[in-house]
Chain A
């Protein structure tokens, strides 16, 4: 296990660049509605999770998010993510028919740890969704990803999504983060 600061610059650049390439490619697939190809980027044991957040006092801010294993907006494995993807390509899955237009801005990429085949990556994102003529949703948050090299190729093995909103100001979250 190596926290990144201990690695030589060339190695830091290399791993950060790889993580960035992966991330931008992944975001482009979702933006372009290539959902099947996106699924292929996930390991079979992926955990995809978005806890519920709430306003607390500063003193109780450690209670801001719900815990693993409890209530969440997303608590998905490959199976449920596959079903979400299947929905996205079905006619008359109404939340996304007509399909939304989405654009993902993923920034502030930080490789925080490299350990064997695994890279821990933190990033900020903005997911902008518009649909029909005038509907707009804006989700901004932080992602904590675990990338794993499988057969020499990077895959997404874990994604924890921390939104800034507490009350979700949208009629639904039918998009993938």
Chain B
């Protein structure tokens, strides 16, 4: 293995100056190491259980650059199989989703059961002379598959800690924000498009409440959003071990109380946060999200690459080489949602994000040009600045354990992402990551 990472001394992100070496967005060797050390080890989001309602249903996804098939097998277990036939490496499934009885390789016809085991091969007796160990040559599988509240995650690393521990309270809270309204289902139709940017710049952006008024200023001027809703000053950040985070608008306790009272009186939504906060209306949800979590209307990122949006969507950022990223948008709605609300939720999901979305249209070019800036001989040697709010805020402890930073627009989420990313990249394996990763900050940040 090329030693681009020689020791823990090698630093791309410098927490003292809050600056970042841009080569992490363009160096092909760093990218190869990311596939191993980040995507190869992390719990990666694969799909939601509702996408696999019965045996034979499958959905294709990726772990880094490895294509995987999530499928419900005959025992109703969800399998995450590597889509690569052990004979010559051909894919055994070419459709993005669907239902099948088995996976038949189109090259020489090896046939795999829904749990990945090799169940048939042409010429087994005639050409292999009846002397072939089929049990040893099934499809490769994710080392572990676990489900949190219907969200299916898989890891290629047998040493990865259990999913709930990996997520920690911040990752779980991030998913709870979409799951707490009862049983949810993924709507049919995942929007997918490609942006010529490094995947980390897309992740970086989800914490970025600084760009909104500039990048998406047009949304204000065509009357789609209000000034206040675009980048509210009251911001709340929660940071969790291994790089998970939630950053974005936060309500004060007074705002939340006022909201609950007004809506309880049957008032029409009138304040910028009413529509988002509406999901915090019933006491059960607020209890589930916790005293601090219930006040957050921020953007969670499940490290490394799953953004939970405020529009009931998940956006997965799948790397396609150092210079290209695929964005996949999943839309989740509570089952049995009243028709009118459901129509409105779909309308919002269809019009805000996705490649034709009013907001999303403007993002891609910024990220691709930032990526290009990491390629130039002169530009790549100049560090990037992540100093907004650095050293100026404090993590406030809460008896519930939900520690948060309550502040103005800031770059805490980005700094935390790169610090954690660096921990992952310099760890040799899961035990060393567990032992040496930077714990979620306390005190001044």
Interface bits A126-170 vs B (CB < 8 Å: 1, else 0): 000000000000000000000000000000000000000011111
The answer to whether B361 touches A174, judged by C-beta atoms less than 8 angstroms apart, is yes
Q: Is the interface of B mostly helix, strand, loop or mixed?
A: mixed
User: Distance (Å) between the CB of B321 and the closest chain A CB?
Assistant: 14
Tally chain B residues at the interface, Cβ within 8 Å. 43
Partner of B218, one of A54, A74, A90, A169: A90
Interface bits A56-91 vs B (CB < 8 Å: 1, else 0): 110010010011011111110000100110110010
Interface flag for B223 (CB, 8 Å): yes
Interface flag for A172 (CB, 8 Å): yes
The answer to whether A67 touches B218, judged by C-beta atoms less than 8 angstroms apart, is no
Known: A55-B95, A67-B188, A172-B360. A86 touches B222 (CB 8 A): yes
Q: Which residues does chain B contribute within 8 Å of A94, judged by CB atoms?
A: 215, 218, 362, 365-366
Known: A70-B346, A71-B350, A172-B355. A52 touches B223 (CB 8 A): no
User: Distance (Å) between the CB of A57 and the closest chain B CB?
Assistant: 5
The answer to whether B194 touches A166, judged by C-beta atoms less than 8 angstroms apart, is no
Q: Which residues 185-242 of B sit at the A interface, judged by CB distance below 8 A?
A: 187-196, 215, 217-218, 221-224
The answer to whether A73 touches B356, judged by C-beta atoms less than 8 angstroms apart, is yes
Known: A52-B191, A69-B346. A173 touches B356 (CB 8 A): yes
The answer to whether B326 touches A95, judged by C-beta atoms less than 8 angstroms apart, is no
CA of A90 to CA of B362, assembled, Å: 13
Interface flag for A171 (CB, 8 Å): yes
Interface flag for B96 (CB, 8 Å): yes
Can you list 22 A-B contacts (CB < 8 A)?
A52-B190, A66-B188, A69-B346, A70-B189, A71-B190, A73-B350, A75-B351, A80-B351, A84-B358, A87-B222, A87-B358, A90-B221, A92-B217, A93-B362, A95-B362, A167-B194, A169-B194, A170-B193, A170-B355, A171-B195, A171-B364, A171-B368
Residues of A in contact with B (beta carbons under 8 Å apart): 50-52, 54-57, 60, 63, 66-67, 69-75, 80, 83-84, 86-87, 90, 92-95, 166-174
Residues of B in contact with A (beta carbons under 8 Å apart): 94-100, 187-196, 215, 217-218, 221-224, 326, 331, 343, 346-347, 349-351, 354-356, 358, 360-362, 364-366, 368
